[in-house]
Amino acid sequence: MSLAISPACRDALEGWLAAQKALNDASDNTIAAYAGDVTGFLGFITGHKGGPQGLGALEDVGVSDMRAWMAMVRGEGVGPRSLARKLSAVKSFYRWLAEREGFEPTAVLSARAPKYTRKLPRPLAEDAARAVLADAPLGARNDWVGARDVAVLTLLYGCGLRISEALGLDAGAAPLADVLRITGKGGKERLVPVLPAARDAVETYRRLCPHDLAPGTPLFRGVRGGALPPGAIQKLMAGLRARLGLPATATPHALRHSFATHLLAAGGDLRAIQDLLGHASLSTTQSYTAVDTARLMEVYDRAHPRA
């Protein structure tokens, strides 16, 4: 369908994507998602309007056209959340195009995606998180693999790293300093304090690892010496779920959720936790920190004792 898009529309799309990359520092994955979402929309409008018509067809898009597009997307089995993402990309493109071309984009900007229930992250209880770290080495084929597994999981839970960030560490970063400089989503850097437990776990792994951990090579290795893939840690957590009777939501990423939740429960500042996690939006951090009301009141009472 995208082959039918007019050259003018294609040029406009490329211009918008370049602006997103330059002004908003969007990652390559984000740019690819934007391109796919808006290309799909432009392809639909092309067919809906009877063929390539340049930018004029985009300026004439009305409420009924938007409803027809959203109905088509839902008919393809796309869920409400994914449709909301696609609509957000289309609206962003239209804001940019309308400002550039001087037309009124109200019909597009007023379109509403169907409501969906946001799935909140499910952190582990503190005793469950401790059990995960304690049990992790028990099923390993040898001591160094067990030490490696503990080191990775400790970085997820003790430092709030994403699994890609932990497995992306260079061997030259060890011994770990008091603070790690982590490059996260969108190439954004943040500073993450390293707990002694995380530093010790990594050093235990390094001491036992049979492979050459030279600077410029991955810190965490598979059994044959290659970079440790995320699937290995996901498989590890699956085994831990079975042995410890944990729910299906107990994933490697759940340890990151748990880091944030337990830190807030202990009285941590929400904006400081936002910085530690590398979230662009505070609302994202709030969804990660699923602390129950009773525990929030305990934190409040400690900070504001009654007379």
Lowest mean pLDDT among 56-60, 76-80, 147-151, 275-279: 275-279
Q: Which of 78, 109, 140 is the last residue of a domain?
A: 109
Domain containing 38 — which CATH number?
Answer: 1.10.150
Give yes or no: residues 170 and 290 share one domain. Answer: yes
Averaged over 71-80, what is the pLDDT? 87
Output phi, psi for 190, to 5 deg.
-145, 160
Which of these is catalytic: 34, 94, 157, 288? 288
Question: Catalytic: 256?
Answer: yes
Which of these is catalytic: 21, 74, 91, 253? 253
Distant-in-sequence, close-in-space partners of 144: CB < 8 Å, separation ≥ 6: 205, 208, 209, 210
**Confidence at 286, pLDDT banded by 50, 70, 90:** low
Give yes or no: residues 37 and 136 share one domain. Answer: no
DSSP-assigned letters across all residues of 42-83: HHHHHHHTTS--THHHHHT--HHHHHHHHHHHHHTT--HHHH
121 lies in a domain?
A: no
Tell me what pLDDT residue 25 has: 66
Q: How far apart are CA 204 and CA 121, in angstroms?
A: 31
Which of these is catalytic: 86, 206, 257, 279? 279
Question: Catalytic: 91?
Answer: no
260 vs 175, residue with greater confidence: 175
Which of these is catalytic: 81, 185, 190, 211? 185
Averaged over 198-215, what is the pLDDT? 93
Query: What's the Cα-to-Cα distance from 113 to each of 38, 92, 116, rounded to whole Å?
Result: 15, 14, 9
Tell me what pLDDT residue 226 has: 92
Question: Catalytic: 162?
Answer: yes
Give yes or no: residues 44 and 143 share one domain. Answer: no
The answer, yes or no, to whether residue 202 has pLDDT greater than 80, is yes
Tell me what pLDDT residue 3 has: 47
Give yes or no: residues 158 and 290 share one domain. Answer: yes
- Backbone torsion region of residue 245, taken as left when φ is above 0, otherwise alpha when ψ lies between -120 and 50, otherwise beta: left
Total number of domains in the chain: 2
Residue range(s) defining the domain that contains residue 24? 2-109
Q: Do residues 225 and 211 lie in contact, with contact meaning Cβ atoms separated by under 8 Å?
A: yes
Which of these is catalytic: 94, 148, 157, 162? 162
Tell me what pLDDT residue 304 has: 47
Q: How far apart are CA 40 and CA 76, in angstroms?
A: 12
Averaged over 127-143, what is the pLDDT? 86
Distant-in-sequence, close-in-space partners of 127: CB < 8 Å, separation ≥ 6: none
Tell me what pLDDT residue 103 has: 87
Averaged over 8-33, what is the pLDDT? 84
Domain containing 148 — which CATH number?
Answer: 1.10.443.10
Give yes or no: residues 178 and 50 share one domain. Answer: no
Share of the chain above pLDDT 70, in %: 78
303 vs 7, residue with greater confidence: 7
Give yes or no: residues 99 and 211 share one domain. Answer: no
Burial 6-32 (b: 16+ CB within 10 A, else e): beebeebbeebbeebeeeeebeeebee
Which of these is catalytic: 221, 256, 257, 262? 256
Give yes or no: residues 82 and 177 share one domain. Answer: no
Give yes or no: residues 33 and 174 share one domain. Answer: no
Average pLDDT, the chain: 80
Question: Catalytic: 10?
Answer: no
Q: Which of 109, 136, 157 is the last residue of a domain?
A: 109
Give yes or no: residues 285 and 173 share one domain. Answer: yes
Lowest mean pLDDT among 20-24, 50-54, 58-62: 50-54
